[in-house]
Structure 1
Amino acid sequence: MNPTSTSGTPVAEIVDMIKRLGKLESLDPSVDFYEAGFSSINALQLLTELEDRFKVTLADDDFIAARTAVALRDLIDAQRR
């Protein structure tokens, strides 16, 4: 999906979570956030916040494979269907 397309989950909100938890100044929604400086130490907190905020349960393997904000948005949207 296009990072600017409309969907049920706002990708900008996911980007903001990643930036806040990873203490990143900026992040393109389609860039691998681990390569942008996000630490795997923050991954559990991100997973918990995403599940709480969007009322979904994300499988660990799916969460680990979703390495961009766009991929996380698509994963969350798929869980909500």
Structure 2
Amino acid sequence: MSCCCGDDCECRPLGFLLGLPFAFVALILSVIGVVIWIVGLALTCICPCCLCATIIVEFALALIKLPFSIMKWFTSKIPC
């Protein structure tokens, strides 16, 4: 039984391997996102009416999710 056994193939090792360097860069950006998220949460606690702090927190959450998004994108682009 092979890894890729149908039209709904989710195992794409080539896409995974090609995406690893980009995911590593995204992992570094996600660490920066964690720092931004902590600072943004502190700003939100200090001034809850500040809209820019909420936007900063949302941006930081997008940075934190970036490695997973990149790996999903790469594995979806490369066929089995």
The TM-score with structure 1 as length reference comes to 0.32
* Greater relative CO, 1 or 2 (CA 8 Å, sep 6+): 2
The TM-score with structure 2 as length reference comes to 0.32
